[in-house]
Structure 1
Amino acid sequence: MFKKIVISAVLCLLSMSVFASNKTTIVGQVEMMTVAKSGLMFQARMDTGAVNTSLHAVDLKIIGGTSKKMKNNIGKVIEFTTENEKGEKQRMQAEIVSTSSVKNSQGTETRYMVKLDVGFVGKQHNVHVNLRDRSHMNYKLLIGRNFLRRGYVVDVSHKKLIGPIADLSVKQTGLMFNTRIDTGAVENSLHAVNIHVEKENKTDMGNNIGKMITFTTENEKGEKVEVRTKVRGTSLIRNAQGTEARYMVRLSVGEPGKEFLVDVNLKDRSKMGYKLLIGRNWLQGHYLVDVSKKH
């Protein structure tokens, strides 16, 4: 009995170790992906309902002649034209490895299957891909389960992974910040000094909502810029020093080119390691935090 318990415990630990080592990557419903040798980027749709990956292909031509029976063309090279959502086209060649019968609303359709390197730039997987005219479909590349089972989890809420530290842009400043991601903070906080509110009511900060505010911010490289915007609101922050009232403004914050508007409180962060702190009001609905992710 004791021997069985020990064996069970060992097996449990081994399974936990295997699970921990097989780290998954979270992807959204749509991701920018490439197909090797095409030189094209596709807005790829993740489809957990599809067995195989599918690529838009037209003007199919079997090199060396076509047999009437599709299965007799297995092993031959097929040439085809693919196209991404921008209308960029590329003529490609690949070896036919099999055929695939797919059932849809129009009935049963047989397609050629080829092997292609598909995935993210720098991280692709060699998978079976069926070739189909997807001209009338929104996505020219569909990612099926044969790709996703290589360690991917689909997050339909479009959340992305971010580490505890990230390089983020505040669009209105034109600066990049080495940013601390803090799930313990409710709000975002940006370094700000020389704060000036036009016709400021110094008795009640709430009476300044809607007025123009100017302030100077600075990133970790010492790059400074003056920002002018509207007071969005006020925030009462509790910390080790007590309670502090801060002005709130709305700024575009995020990865370069992917910024989105969010409320940010203004604070003199001169003595802090990070001049921009990201809280839950930026993360919620957009990002999952992986503390093991390296900067």
Structure 2
Amino acid sequence: MLKQLGLCLIGMMVSAFLQASDKSVIGPTADMFVANANLGYVARIDTGAVNTSLHAINLQVEGGSAKNMKDNVGKMLSFTTENAKGEAKRLTAKIVKTSTVSNSQGTETRYMVNLNVGFKGKERQVRVNLRDRSHMDYKLLIGRNWLKGLYVVDVASKKYIGSTAAISIVESGMVYKTRIDTGAVENSLHAVDYAIENESADMEQNVGKIITFTTENERGESSVIQTRIVETSLIRNAQGSEIRYMVELNIGEPGEEYKVKVNLRNRSKMTYKLLIGRNWLQGHYIVDVSL
């Protein structure tokens, strides 16, 4: 009996995995398009919301509004929507339903209309509730009624990156043509002409001290960086093993850099002067070598 139950549970898990693998991945925000308005929005993807919600003001029921909102179902509704860029459009749509929403401010009833929402060129019709989102960061909220059956949400919002990429190091003021290496634990930067204040022959004794070094990118541009040694790292490769100094630098795609540890070594004979390892990729990027 227990064996049969176990097999049944495994079967259910496999089935759930296969169903999930058929769905596309979407992050916590996405660039969306409302075809009816011909407007683009940066949308919040919200699995906590049953329905999709659009910013709408100046609502006007054609022919006059009944006191009870439900009595307006079936009537045409005119409203103005606006995206975060301040682009606005006046729309008219049929009221298909009313929706009562509970939140931290209490409860409110909203009109719902059918609109074509989605990635530009791939919109599909979905019921949308209308509310004034003027004071909210996102003028379009994507709820479960748009996601269900088609998308899984990855809140880490990982981006795709190829096997090489243009990567910036803020402290150097330079961009490097960089090898993205999932086989490497750490990032590695070309560095020569080290100068360490009060340097000790024991590398471990230099942790915490200020180091100055010269780095160079593939175009021959060079820069001098001064920073602090945060630790040492034992690196094993085909040539054997060596201990390298590690520093923290702001590294990333231009304009999207963040602080990460980097080991320093002379990469003069290597094609790539900067190598990106798993400690920069983890939680941020998915590597697609076909890019």
Q: Return the alpha-carbon distance in structure 2 between the equivalents of residues 254 and 205 of structure 1.
A: 28
Residue 164 (structure 1) shift: 4.4
Distance 1:180 1:70, change over 3 A: farther
Q: Look up the match of 2:250.
A: 252
TM-score (norm 1): 0.74
Matched-pair contact (CA < 8 Å) for 2:216–2:223: yes
Alpha-carbon offset, residue 161 of structure 1: 3.3
Deviation at 1:160, TM superposition (A): 0.4
Match of 1:262 in 2: 260
For structure 1, list consecutive stretches of 5 or more residues without a partner in the other structure.
1-14
Q: Tell me how far 1:282 sits from its aligned partner.
A: 1.5
The equivalent residue for 1:213 is 212
Aligned partner of 2:159 in structure 1 is 161
TM-score by length of 2: 0.75
Shift of 1:138: 4.9
1:230 paired residue among 222, 227, 235:
227
Distance apart, 1:21 and its partner CA = 8.8
1:274 alignment partner AA: Y
> How many Å apart are 1:80 and its aligned residue?
1.1
Q: What does the per-residue CA deviation read over 1:22-43, in whole Å, with 9 as the maximum and x for residues that have no partner?
A: 4622413x4455545565643x
Whether 2:286 is the aligned partner of 1:289: answer yes
* Structure 1 position 27 matched with structure 2 position 24: no
- CA distance in 2 between partners of 1:151 and 1:270 (Å): 48
Are the structure 2 counterparts of residues 227 and 151 from structure 1 closer, same or farther at C-alpha, using a change threshold of 3 Å? farther
Counterpart Cα distance in 2 of 1:140 and 1:183: 38
- The amino acid of 1:56's aligned partner reads H
Which residue number in structure 1 is paired with residue 50 of structure 2? Answer: 51
Q: Tell me which residue corresponds to 1:10.
A: none
- The number of equivalent residue pairs is 265
Q: Verify the 8 A CA contact 2:194 2:212 in the aligned structure 1.
A: yes
Shift of 1:237: 0.8
**What fraction of aligned residue pairs are identical, expressed as a percent?**
42
Q: CA RMSD in A?
A: 3.3
Q: Contact 1:164/1:182 (CA < 8 Å) preserved in 2? A: no
Corresponding residue number in structure 2 for 1:70: 72
Contact 1:190 1:276 (8 Å CA) reproduced = yes
What do residues 30-76 of structure 1 show as CA deviations (whole Å, max 9, x unaligned)?
Answer: 4455545565643x3221132321112111235x5445332131xx4
Structure 2 residues without counterparts, runs of 5 or longer? 1-14
Residues 1:175 and 2:177 are matched in the alignment: no
* 2:93 match: 95
